[in-house]
Structure 1
Amino acid sequence: MEKKLNRAWALIIGTVLIALAILIGQSSAQADSSVASIKERGVLKVALSPDYPPFEFQSKAGGQSEDAGIDIQVAQKIAKDLGVKLQIMNMSFASVLVAVEIGKADLAIGGINPTPARRQNVAFSDYYYNGGQVFLLTKEGAKQLKKASQLSGKTIGAQSSSLQYKLAKDKYTDSKVVGMDKSSDLVLALKGKKIDAMGIEKPVAEAYIENDHSLTMIPADYNLSADETGAAIAAAKGNDELINEVNKSINEIKSQNLMKTYLKNAAHKLKDTTANTSMLHYWQYFLNGLLYTLYISVWAIIGGMILGAILSLMKMSAWKVLNWPAVSFIEVVRGTPIMVQILLVYFGLGLLINIPALTAGIIAVTLNSAAYVAEIIRGGINAVNKGQFEAAQSLGLSKKDQYRFVIFPQAIKNIWPALGNEFISIIKESSIVSIIGVTDLVYELNIVKADTYRGVAPIVVVMVIYFIVTFGLGRLLGHFERKMKYGN
């Protein structure tokens, strides 16, 4: 009973410390995004999700990969007017406003509608674009669904946390509304008949239809004003000075009719990008993603083993000053999703220390692995026969040498299969780092899907790559397991 209470207290203390770290860091986040600070460092940091053509996407025109689209040009205009360079921070759409709210990015852009709920947490500029709302359908589905009012009772898809998702939930109360992080996944669901229609902005729908002739669209029937559907740029709450500078740039875009040019440029780059949509054409994307995945996995395996061994010994210690932190850490990590941990390290710890996305991803995956490795090692040590401890003591070995020469070698044999499974899991679970913009295999998968308008082919390629890597690692681990088993 006492042990359970100690564990519960350790878990509570660990959770409170994490919450305090976030609150302390959040109080200092705003100052970094002031206009003076931006000009001093010479860089404007803009968060976006590059999987929403023609607003933002990754162009492969000329063999070089670069961020392109309407929003990229708007951001470039703002940076130029401020007299600084533009730094694009790619991440999932659900994370862009969080990045601005805590000061990780100066601005967030991406066809974002300033809803009342969003205005409570961030400040918004004037509207810079309004494309209108439509529903994307397959041509086959359009034979039965000729107007939006017929969607009642149907399954509607929309990007999670988007205006389209909220509009569909509010209006079509008797319909099932499905949210997904990526528009390309929704289109795949639409073509696979998992959803009947997809709520989306008109320019995005037109881009999909241009590149996939099996799709069509119908107007939405929301009857909304421009203020309710327009796209604006987000900054930290209270950062009125930066918002004023952004509004100056937006006013120039409107007065000089630059949006027409931006649309034309985006369409041109999108056409070049989709000229060749074969998976072979994107081999560099997949190779780059594989290298990052392996890089993250190797460091996480090494770090997880070292930290896991330390945590296991701390947890087995009779000293509470060592035992409690280890128990707290292990319970918190094992009791929370790895995606939440990655967001916490990047956005939470990033409040105190400026951590790049790749470093944050490695740290989070390493910490997650260490908690599981610690329990694997502890179980392996406890599985060693007590007689082995007594025999080592009778030989006059020190505590350190007992573990080094007698206990650990036997424990390794016991835990090797479980460790092997953990190593393979790290490779697969590291895919979640794509949510903060780390260019691993899953990140590149989403980029290729958005660029090529092909849903299944990129998924198959990435699945094959993961299988080859994990299958090869499994065989290698099995080889060493057999050598340890037979002693040769």
Structure 2
Amino acid sequence: MAPQPAPVGHSKGDYPWWLVALVAIGIVLAVVIIANDIYAQVFRTVFNGVGVTIFVTLVGFALATILGLAIALLGLSDSVVLRQISRFYVEVIRGVPMLVLLFYVAFVGAPGIVAAYNFLTRPLIQAGLSEPVMVRDFSLMWRAIIALMIGYSSFIAEVFRAGIQSVDHGQIEAAKALGLSRYHRFRFVVFPQAIRVIFPPLSNDFVAMVKDSSLVSVLGVSDITQMGKIYASGSFRFFETYSIVTYIYLILTIGLSLALRQVEKRMRGKDRR
């Protein structure tokens, strides 16, 4: 039997030495954190914000994915009006920096939502059946989550749109000929094929949101970055603090990237079968 050629992209030069180097550096830093009391104290303080970072990322990304899919489906609608609404939303939101959007939602959108709620429930408030909601009752964490949801939904909508449009139109026509409804065509024909195209950029957006979740610290939300800012401002140990902050973020982002890459490889393996 003739020798099989080596798979493209799997030559000896492609061995992940970068990952070996990162793991080695990570181990050295872990030893330093264990052995050095200052680094250990910084790590314990900053690590208290990991739960908030993970919560903001998971909830924000889940909501952004749902909203992004809805916007993408509007953009693929037969209605010109719905398509224009979708395009308008995507172009406007993508053009606003995430930090500006965060401030706008937190200090303009949230008070507007509270005012609208109080206006709609005014009869109940006047009757003593309900209490007016104050702006301070609107959690800063949820304001940040809503801002991330809105900001990322515009990018995710484009990912979904490109993935759905990558499906061969002939297969959709064949599904129509079989009498499948629009929902069943999407569920059984379009989405299973589109997800192979959608997953890689969607996973990249997920990793990016882990990093952008650090922006919530400007609102005082106690995530990793905010805990680092508080410790550094009180101890003036900026080098140690932000080295630990960087270390934790790298663990989260690189670990998540490697896990998602394995999922992507498994998806490709199933396709080859």
TM-score class normalised by the smaller sequence: 0.7 to 0.9
- Deviation at 1:459? 1.2
Distance 2:99 2:164 in 1: 30
Equivalence for 2:250: 467
Matched, 1:391 2:174: yes
* Mapping 1:288-303, distance limit 5 Å: 288-303=48-63
Equivalence for 1:334: 94
Matched, 1:308 2:68: yes
For the residue of structure 2 that corresponds to 1:397, the secondary structure is coil
Higher normalized helix content (fraction of residues)? 2
* Mapping 1:427-438, distance limit 5 Å: 427-438=210-221
Distance 1:455 1:407 in 2: 51
Maintained 8 Å contact 2:42/2:244: no
Q: Deviations over 1:304-343 (max 9, x none)?
A: 1111110100111132442233222211110010000010
Distance 1:409 1:330 in 2: 24
Maintained 8 Å contact 2:232/2:238: yes
The residue identity in structure 2 corresponding to 1:376 is V
Distance 2:85 2:44 in 1: 44
| Identical pairs, percent | 33
For the residue of structure 2 that corresponds to 1:477, the secondary structure is helix
Matched, 1:411 2:194: yes
Equivalence for 1:402: 185
Higher normalized strand content (fraction of residues)? 1
Which structure 1 residue ranges, 5 or more long, are not aligned? 1-275
For the residue of structure 2 that corresponds to 1:278, the secondary structure is helix
Question: When the two structures are superposed, what TM-score results if normalisation uses the length of structure 1?
Answer: 0.42
Matched, 1:485 2:268: yes
Distance 1:365 1:285 in 2: 25
Which structure 2 residue ranges, 5 or more long, are not aligned? 1-35, 115-134
Maintained 8 Å contact 2:228/2:242: yes
Matched, 1:285 2:45: yes
Moved beyond 4 Å, runs of 4+: none
Question: When the two structures are superposed, what TM-score results if normalisation uses the length of structure 2?
Answer: 0.74
Maintained 8 Å contact 2:42/2:241: no
| Structure of higher CA gyration radius | 1
For the residue of structure 1 that corresponds to 2:208, the secondary structure is helix
Higher relative contact order (CA 8 A, sep 6+): 2
For the residue of structure 2 that corresponds to 1:317, the secondary structure is coil
Instruction: Count the aligned residue pairs.
Output: 213
Maintained 8 Å contact 2:42/2:231: yes
Matched, 1:456 2:239: yes
Equivalence for 1:380: 163
Distance 2:104 2:61 in 1: 20
- Deviation at 1:277? 8.2
Q: Deviations over 1:199-242 (max 9, x none)?
A: xxxxxxxxxxxxxxxxxxxxxxxxxxxxxxxxxxxxxxxxxxxx
Maintained 8 Å contact 2:144/2:216: yes
Maintained 8 Å contact 1:393/1:402: yes
Maintained 8 Å contact 2:140/2:221: yes
Distance 2:237 2:37 in 1: 8
